[in-house]
Amino acid sequence: MSDSLLQDAPSTAAHPLPDWFRKNQKAAAARFDTLPMPTRRDESWRFSNLKAVDPQDFAPARPVAPELAAALLSRSHGLKSPAGSTVFANDRLLAHQLSPALAAQGVLWLPIEEALQSHGELLKGHLLKNTPLLGSDKFLALHQASLRAGSFLYVPKGVHIEAPLQTFHWVAGSGQAVFPHTLVVAEEGSSATVVDWFKSEGEARNLSIAANDLVVAKDAKVHYVSVQDWSRQSVSLHSNNTNVAAGGAALHLGLHLGGVYSRSESVSRLEGAGARSEMLAATVADGAQEFDQRTLQEHGSPDTYSDLLYKNALYDRAKTIVSGLIRVAPHAHRTDAYQKVRNLILSPDAEANSLPGLEILADQVRCSHGATTGEIDPDELFYMQSRGIRSTDAYRLITFGFLNEVLDRLPHEELRSQLQDALKARLRGH
Amino acid sequence: MSLVIHNLHARVVGGQEILRGLNLEIEKGRVHAIMGPNGSGKSTLSKIIAGHPDYEVTGGEVLLDGVNILGMEPDARSRAGLFLAFQYPVEIPGVSNANFIRAALQARLAAGEELEATEYYGDLYKEMDRLEIPRGFTARSVNEGFSGGEKKRNEVLQMAMLKPSYAILDETDSGLDIDALKIVAAGVNAQRGPNIGMLVITHYQRLLDYIVPDVVHVLVGGRIVRTAGPELAYELESKGYDWIKDELEAAATA
Ligand SMILES: Nc1ncnc2c1ncn2[C@@H]1O[C@H](COP(=O)(O)OP(=O)(O)OP(=O)(O)O)[C@@H](O)[C@H]1O
Ligand SMILES: [Mg+2]
């Protein structure tokens, strides 16, 4: 069934990719062929609208015409002065840049294909190394088999990168499939912030199967932001893997805006003592959109900390699912693990599903999980109106505030304000 | 020019009557105070004037410079020049104080007009300084985690920014320490003048030492039962409300 999707796998003629990578791609292609499509009967696909996800409807993206490439480049507005910036359209590299000062410190910021060629050994131990745990094995196999675009960031020991590094992934045309990847390797005591913008040219239906690996070494700090702003017809699957060593800290924030069906899987593996992870998501769902979110907070060491906050605002007939599991291994004593899901229902026909889970095998653990679903608070509405704000604007502002509480957790101010702008552009009145 | 409350009857939607024929006229340029026992209907009066949906008016009218505002949405009343400083200000998570006040000012502009940001922040900081509100409060979510006194100052800040023609201050003194009371009173007095009429609801004569009213009313059982000069507040402070209630009963049975 995968023939059409696999025919255009990255060409290896001009730029030889490492053998191990090509071998893995072959194996992944075979896995994609043999693995069954998941069904709603699978625990990790409960409530999902799987009908929306048929890879056969799509073919690997073809390059965009030069005029369009230029237009997309000029529309890739990001930060005023990012530490690095990369733009892809239909999985082809359009532009790439890294601050020379960082390059001089040994920072690598490379398109992933180039990184595979020039620093293959560095990627080998990290790229797609984690076993999928949340149900997307088949889709991740396709991602691996088709992987050609994305960014690789390597931060040497002790290097701190203040400004974020940004990647734009555009998709244009219709029926196109893209497979963006972001791999971040932050060595001991280093820090960096990385943002992926996923954007469509036009309203057509395309497919994205994206994944990222965040490898946070001892005492390192990585903040990763993904903005899923695909067209409203598109199908999006995104898998985040965060591995945190002792004393390290990760933050992943997902802003989910686009797509007709959008699945995000996020796993935090707290592998070393004292490792920390914040897992954040803000979702605006309207029309018939479905946002299917699966998470795992995997505590493998003592004194680890994880904090999940997922917020969904739902209009119309939109649907959200948040299924989250906290798992604390037997020796992971004194773990703190929190999980909060908040749903704001803006229409009687919207549907918010929350499926929390706990598996605690250690002692002296502080865990809490809770999901709440509510509507706009009439007192807040009246307070705003009493200041002259029209009810339609008050609805918008209260909804913004609800989701902005998630964005407020991101320390980088300029990036946060860009996310706020993207969010504002997406919110409706009432 | 005045805010006229004429024979106002109102109740909780589908519930008991709270205001029973209330009459009051607040002229521009004057400050009226209302005192009255707990549960007598002071906050209800202020909320009904502001258009709170929990209450329904069963009789009477409220005229703002001659225009009956009872059919108007709360936001339209505000834009028409009314302001209510809440007894219990509401917290709005995730919305910064600066953005909130900005949205309120923006709502007063014609469609397509944009509030000038530098000018706005200039005005905002000026008023915050006057009320001794630290700059950090612009970025904090509206009223969230504010102390009781900080919430009240924030109400007065909003009033200063919105420049209403009629302002109702519902127990703006409660929760304030002595120093804060002086600051807030000074902030209110700075706004006093020929272009604004004020209604100050309070339980404590102390506030009226700082914001000296032109008229003092007593509200009992959903009606204004006594109106006099500022000396009435002192009398209430020393004697409480029982003597008024007794007089009312005597009059009723006479
Ligand atoms: N929404 C409501 N639902 C039910 N009862 C209400 C409601 N609002 C007001 N009431 C009742 O109406 C009466 C007047 O309340 P109100 O808050 O106006 O009193 P107040 O004079 O402001 O009192 P205080 O001095 O304690 O602030 C009280 O008995 C109160 O319980
Ligand atoms: Mg009251």
pLDDT score of A197 more than 80: yes
What is the model's pLDDT at position A77?
87
What is the model's pLDDT at position A268?
98
In a mutational test of the A interface, the residue from B82, B86, B92, B97 whose CB has the highest number of chain A CBs within 10 Å is: B92
* ipTM above threshold 0.95: yes
Express as a percent the part of chain A with pLDDT over 70.
97
More reliable by pLDDT, A30 or A14: A30
Task: Establish if B51 touches chain A: CB-CB under 8 angstroms.
Answer: yes
Compute how many other C-beta atoms are within 10 angstroms of the C-beta atom of residue B197: 26
Q: Are B107 and A386 an interchain contact pair (Cβ–Cβ within 8 Å)? A: no
* DSSP run (H or E) holding A168: strand A165-171
pLDDT score of A2 more than 80: no
Give just the sign of the alpha carbon dihedral A416, A420, A421, A425.
Answer: positive
Residue A415 C-alpha, separation from nearest chain B C-alpha, in angstroms: 16
What is the amino acid identity at position A147?
L
Q: How many domains does chain B have?
A: 1
In chain B, what residues touch A398 (CB-CB under 8 Å)? Answer: 92, 95
Compute how many other C-beta atoms are within 10 angstroms of the C-beta atom of residue A35: 14
On average, the pLDDT of chain A sits at 95
What is the model's pLDDT at position A50?
78
Q: How confident is the model at residue A363 (pLDDT cuts 50, 70, 90)?
A: confident
Q: Which residues line the pocket of ligand 1, CB cutoff 6 A? A: B 12, 15, 18, 36, 38-44, 54, 87
What is the model's pLDDT at position A15?
61
- Among A58, A340, A67, A339, which Cα is nearest to A176's? A58
pLDDT score of A192 more than 90: yes
- Distance, C-alpha A26 to centroid of its chain: 25
User: Is B18 a domain residue?
Assistant: yes
User: What's the whole-number mean pLDDT along residues A105-115?
Assistant: 97
Q: Are A404 and B52 an interchain contact pair (Cβ–Cβ within 8 Å)? A: no
Interface list for B 86-115 with A (CB within 8 A)? 86, 89-95, 99-101, 103-104, 107-108
Residue-wise pLDDT tens digits, A311-343: 999 999 999 999 999 999 999 999 999 999 999
Express as a percent the part of chain A with pLDDT over 90.
91
Shortest CA distance from A377: residue in chain B? B92
**CA B87/CA A93 separation, integer angstroms:** 59
CATH code for the domain of B183: 3.40.50.300
Residue B50 C-alpha, separation from nearest chain A C-alpha, in angstroms: 7
Helix (H, G, I), strand (E, B) or coil at B86: coil
User: Which two structure tokens, joined as six digits, stand for B213?
Assistant: 């009213």
What is the model's pLDDT at position A13?
47
- Secondary structure string (H, E, C) spanning chain A: CCHHHHCCCCCCCCCCCCHHHHHHHHHHHHHHHHCCCCCCCCHHHCCCCHHHCCHHHCEECCCCCHHHHHHHHHCCCCCCCCCEEEEEECCEEEEEEECHHHHHCCCEEEEHHHHHHHCHHHHHCCCCCCCCCCCCHHHHHHHHHHCCCEEEEEECCCCECCCCEEEEEEECCCCEEECCEEEEEECCCCEEEEEEEEEECCCCCCEEEEEEEEEECCCCEEEEEEEEECCCCCEEEEEEEEEECCCCEEEEEEEECCCCEEEEEEEEEECCCCCEEEEEEEEEECCCCEEEEEEEEEECCCCCEEEEEEEEEECCCCEEEEEEEEEECCCCCCCEEEEEEEEEECCCCCEEEEEEEEEECCCCCEEEEEEEEECCCHHHHHHHHCCCCCHHHHHHHHHHHHHHHHHCCCCCHHHHHHHHHHHHHHCCCC
User: What's the whole-number mean pLDDT along residues B181-208?
Assistant: 94
DSSP at A50: G
Residue-wise pLDDT tens digits, B54-87: 999 999 999 999 999 999 999 999 999 999 999 9
Residue-wise pLDDT tens digits, A248-273: 999 999 999 999 999 999 999 999 99
Shortest CA distance from B142: residue in chain A? A401
Shortest CA distance from A391: residue in chain B? B75
Residue-wise pLDDT tens digits, A119-145: 999 999 999 999 999 999 999 999 999
Interface list for B 154-173 with A (CB within 8 A)? 158, 162
Task: Establish if A400 touches chain B: CB-CB under 8 angstroms.
Answer: yes
Q: Which domain holds residue B204?
A: 2-93+166-253
**CA A80/CA B242 separation, integer angstroms:** 68
Interchain CB contacts (distance < 8 Å): A and B: 85
What is the model's pLDDT at position A284?
98
Best substitution site from B8, B9, B35, B40 to test ligand 1's pocket, by max atoms within 8 Å of Cβ? B40
**CA A359/CA A367 separation, integer angstroms:** 10
Helix (H, G, I), strand (E, B) or coil at B254: coil
Q: How confident is the model at residue A167 (pLDDT cuts 50, 70, 90)?
A: very high
CB A286 within 8 A of CB A314: yes
pLDDT score of A14 more than 70: no
pLDDT score of A107 more than 90: yes
In a mutational test of the A interface, the residue from B72, B95, B143, B168 whose CB has the highest number of chain A CBs within 10 Å is: B95
Task: Establish if B43 touches chain A: CB-CB under 8 angstroms.
Answer: no
**CA A135/CA B194 separation, integer angstroms:** 70
- Among A252, A257, A263, A72, which Cα is nearest to A169's? A72
Distance from the first to the final alpha carbon of chain A: 45
User: Which two structure tokens, joined as six digits, stand for B77?
Assistant: 């009343």
Express as a percent the part of chain B with pLDDT over 90.
90
Q: Select from A388, A403, A408 the Cβ nearest to the Cβ of B107.
A: A388
Residue A216 C-alpha, separation from nearest chain B C-alpha, in angstroms: 30
In a mutational test of the B interface, the residue from A340, A382, A413 whose CB has the highest number of chain B CBs within 10 Å is: A382
Q: How confident is the model at residue B249 (pLDDT cuts 50, 70, 90)?
A: confident
User: Is B134 a domain residue?
Assistant: no
CB B232 within 8 A of CB B214: no
User: What's the whole-number mean pLDDT along residues B205-219?
Assistant: 95
Residue-wise pLDDT tens digits, A34-83: 999 999 899 999 999 877 788 889 999 999 999 999 999 999 989 999 99
User: What's the whole-number mean pLDDT along residues B187-216?
Assistant: 95
What is the model's pLDDT at position A5?
60
Residue-wise pLDDT tens digits, B137-175: 999 999 999 999 999 999 999 999 999 999 999 999 988
Q: Are A388 and B93 an interchain contact pair (Cβ–Cβ within 8 Å)? A: no
pLDDT score of B207 more than 90: yes
Q: Are A390 and B74 an interchain contact pair (Cβ–Cβ within 8 Å)? A: no
Task: Establish if A389 touches chain B: CB-CB under 8 angstroms.
Answer: yes
pLDDT score of A231 more than 70: yes
* DSSP run (H or E) holding A299: strand A290-299
DSSP at A149: -
CA angle B8, B12, B16 (to 5 degrees): 85
Q: Are A382 and B79 an interchain contact pair (Cβ–Cβ within 8 Å)? A: no
